Structure 1
Amino acid sequence: MLLSLLFRSMAASALVGLLGLTQPALAQTDADPVLLVALQASKTPALALLEMRDGKVSREAVVGLRRNDQTEAAKLDDLWATGSDAKPMTVALVARLVDRGLLAWDAPLSKLWPALAQTVRPEYGQITLAQLLSHRAGLPRDSSDADYFAAFHADTRPLPQQRMDYLRKALNEAPVAAAGAGQHYSNTGFVLAGAIAETVTGVAYETLMHQEVFEPLGMSSARFAATRQGQNMGHRNGHPVAEKFSTAEDGNPLMYSPAGAELHMTLRDWAKFCLDQLAGAKDQGKLLSKAAYRKMQTNTDGPRSALGWLAPPSIMGRKGPVLQHSGSDGNWMAYVVLFPEQGTGVLVAANAGEDMGADAAAKAVLKAVLPGLSPAN
């Protein structure tokens, strides 16, 4: 590890002077030296860390400021944006509907949503939920029409209606590959999966997520809404971003939420989902059927393609299997790494984007803590 955790309480104050950090960044008790070192090497205002072992949270830490133009320290119960790390949560929602017989993993779009299938390119009529959620449907990453996409930032229509309009246009763009022909990361595929869930239930995706995932797991802080003044804020280009969802700088439009846009929650609530995934890997999960956990966490096409998760055989030299993801909207950064065989995992979050060094800082934290979560590969 970057620094021995044996001195993490006693050394915190000494590190303040050594690293040139200001005292407001250390208003929390028991400041974590791993986070301190990573924070100092970037322009990121704050970093947070949560580790999981043996079915529970084993370590929590946060250092830094809620916003870099004020002095209020970030706190353990602050909200952080998960970004695309929420994609496995969308898969879990779909899995709940599959478990109830409302959807089927291998049913084509022509059967799942006949009205939409008739209005899009014919090759998309046969793509399945499993292909959408493992990035194997051949869909482009996002709509190529940047101006059309940007207009959704200011759209006030109901979100399901916005998604339907977006999909009718996006699914008339040429595929990047034939369905099933390799993995091609696609946010559009997840928006389509979320909209399919809306069509079979008659309920908006955001409400479905609360009903089917957040509430059963007790994730009470989860919300599809911007953080506000007086809270933890995302940062870009050296300054806090007041997320009003009206411009591209505000992140992604809210209609993109099935792909992970604008979901914020505490790390402890995010950990509830991850702990359930780890339990599900041992047939002890509470949210889904045993078959659904296996479907989510099993590679479907090559070493990295599970449903929602990236599932490489190892990560940073640590032994897998691994379930992991990263996410950012340009204003926030987040990483999740789970080791199902070891029953361990870690969440790392930053309130800034890559341009302020948040990605490098988060990876430095991962490099420091992963050796304690899984043996060498």
Structure 2
Amino acid sequence: MTVNRTIRHFLAFCFATLAHVGWANQTGENRSSQNIQRAVSDVVAKEKLPGMIAAIGDAQGVIAIGAAGVRKQGADVPITARDLVHLGSCTKAMTCAVLATLVSDGTLSWNTRLVQVFPELKRDLHDQYHDVTLWQLVTHRAGLPANASDWWVHRDKDITARRLAIMKDNLQAPPAGSVGKYLYSNLGYMVAGCMAERMTGSTWESLIDERLFKPLGMRSASFGPPGTKGKVDQPWGHSRSNGDWQARQFDNAEALGPAGRVHCTLADWAKFTALHLPQNRSRLLSQQNLDKLIEPSGQYAGGWNVLQRTWAEGPTQTHSGSNTMWYAVVWVAPKLNRTFMVATNSSDKNSRLICDRMIAELISIDRQANRN
């Protein structure tokens, strides 16, 4: 009986200790969420934005989050921390992660050349594009123009054939820049997507769903404008019209998908960004593949700008994205085991500065939490 009583007392002590630690962590996270909530509320009020959601993440996902504003200007439906946001060009890092899985299984290599995948188009493509590699495409060093001359053509074709036709239309002319030199290109990401589609027989949408969203549990992730058309069940995007915010449920053409059409919750976005934190336990990509994705050509790597920052105690990865109706920004700080994310359901000339200031506020909130 004495032994059993001792064991019971010991177990009770352990459970009490664990409960206290869990409560303390939860309290710290709740305090940070409250601080984020106050910060985004202040920004939305001061800048007269429709809405904003901001979050801090670690290797397991979101640890603090806040939201303020409305889903649609004039509709008086509050935006929530669980709502979907449009990521714009922050999609590019996801596309690169999918490509890395194809490199890992031998379907592609980063040195695979365009003409190797599409030998039948050798006579149709400008000869300076023949030897452009997959890595040059995703690091914006393939010489391609920023965008297709028309993203909306060939709508009578299925999406794979449509992308291929747009590639053929736009790669007949000489490069817009020198191959090997940096020139940001959404078209380049579509071409990279075309290579993946040809080598797998699947659409980019299917590939990213099967190889990224499902393995990471990103159940909210999909494509195009969030929500049901005509309903306010999710946030609408907003752009300026005569100085006022005009709500719009619209997006870039489907063909542009690999460059910027993903939407998801910030909680699911944080599951993806956590891949690049050293304490993450996902086996989706090997460390070698993850390292490759942040190996910069200049300052741009596989879907990420790679920058040294003092506040992060070393290298960071960052990107912004906008379809002209939304604006999103993410920073990954591996040495801090942190990610910082902000999204607004609006976009104008001030959005970048506003979101950058909110990122700075998130960093400050996280520092304060760590001091306490």
* TM-score interval (norm. to shorter): 0.7 to 0.9
- Determine the C-alpha separation between the residues in 2 that align with 1:121 and 1:99: 30
- What is the rounded CA distance, in whole Å, between the counterparts of 1:111 and 1:9 in structure 2? 53
1:374 Cα shift? 7.8
Counterpart of 2:304 (choices 276, 298, 309) is: 309
In the alignment, is the contact (CA less than 8 A) between 2:138 and 2:302 conserved in 1? yes
Q: Deviations over 1:180-214 (max 9, x none)?
A: 2x321111110001111000111111011101110
- Does the C-alpha gap of structure 1 residues 339 and 373 become closer, same or farther in structure 2, counting only changes over 3 Å? farther
Unaligned runs of 5+ in 1: 1-5, 11-27, 244-249
Q: What amino acid is the match of 1:359?
A: R
Separation in structure 2 between the aligned mates of residue 174 and residue 298 of structure 1, nearest angstrom: 28
Inter-CA distance 40–359: structure 2 relative to 1 (3 Å threshold):
farther
Counterpart amino acid of residue 92 in structure 1 = A
**Which residue in the other structure is 2:338 paired with?**
344
Q: Render the CA deviation track for 1:233-264: whole Å, top value 9, x for unaligned.
A: 10112344443xxxxxx331011000012x21
Could you say what secondary structure the match of 1:105 adopts? coil
- Structure index of larger Rg: 2
| Distance (whole Å) between structure 1 residues aligned to residue 146 and residue 86 of structure 2 | 20
For residues 232 and 55 of structure 1, what CA distance do their matches in structure 2 show?
A: 26
Answer whether contact 1:43 1:358 (CA < 8 A) is retained.
Answer: no
- The 5 Å alignment of 1:73-88 reads 73-88=78-93
Q: Pick the structure with more helix per residue.
A: 2
Provide closer, same or farther for how the CA distance between residues 310 and 30 of structure 1 changes in structure 2, counting only shifts above 3 A: closer
Asked if the contact 1:324–1:335 (Cα under 8 Å) also holds between the matched residues in 2, the reply is: yes
Paired residues of 1:109 and 1:117 also in contact (CA < 8 A): no
8 A contact 1:44–1:358 mirrored in 2 = no
- Between 337-346 and 225-234, report the one with greater CA deviation: 225-234
- Tell me which of 109, 128, 152 is aligned to 2:133: 128
Cα drift, residue 31 of structure 1: 7.1
Match of 2:295 in 1: 298
Please give the alpha-carbon distance, in whole angstroms, between the structure 1 residues aligned to 2:283 and 2:359: 28
Instruction: Tell me the TM-score normalized by structure 2.
Output: 0.83
Q: Which residue of 2 aligns with 1:90?
A: 95
CA distance in 2: counterparts of 1:104 and 1:222, whole angstroms: 27
Q: Report how many residues are paired.
A: 334
Map 1:174-193 to 2 at 5 A.
174-180=174-180, 182-193=181-192
Q: CA 1:195 to 1:373, structure 2 compared with 1: closer, same or farther past 3 Å? A: farther
RMSD over aligned Cα atoms: 2.6
Check whether the contact 2:73–2:247 (CA below 8 A) recurs between aligned residues: no
Q: Which amino acid aligns with 1:362?
A: C
8 Å Cα contact 2:322/2:328 also seen in 1: yes
Specify whether residues 341 and 156 from structure 1 end up closer, same or farther in structure 2 by C-alpha distance, changes over 3 A only: farther
Offset from partner CA, 1:251-289 (integer Å, 9 cap, x none): 31011000012x21111011110112224xx68542112
Q: Distance in 2 between matches of 1:199 and 1:331?
A: 32
> Does the 8 Å CA contact 2:44/2:69 hold for their aligned counterparts?
yes
Unaligned runs of 5+ in 2: 1-26
CA drift at 1:54: 4.9
In structure 2, relative to structure 1, the CA distance for the partners of 1:62 and 1:211 (3 Å cut) is same
- What is the rounded CA distance, in whole Å, between the counterparts of 1:241 and 1:100 in structure 2? 43
| CA contact 2:221–2:268 (8 Å) conserved in 1 | yes
Paired with 1:109 and 1:191, the residues of 2 have a C-alpha distance of 12
1:369 to 362, 366, 369: 362
Say if 2:50 and 2:69, in contact at 8 Å, map to a contact too.
Answer: yes
CA contact 2:305–2:319 (8 Å) conserved in 1: yes
Aligned 8 A contact 2:68 2:79 in 1: yes
1:68–1:283 distance in 2 versus 1, CA, 3 Å: closer
Counterpart in the other structure of 1:323: 317
| Cross-structure match for 1:16 | none
Do residues 332 (structure 1) and 326 (structure 2) align? yes
Q: Partner letter of residue 103 of structure 1?
A: L
8 Å contact from structure 1 (residues 9, 32) kept in 2: no
Matched, 1:109 2:114: yes
In structure 2, the partner of 1:274 is 273
Match of 1:41 in 2: 46
CA 1:53–1:110 in 2, change beyond 3 Å: closer, same or farther? same
Shift of 1:362: 1.2
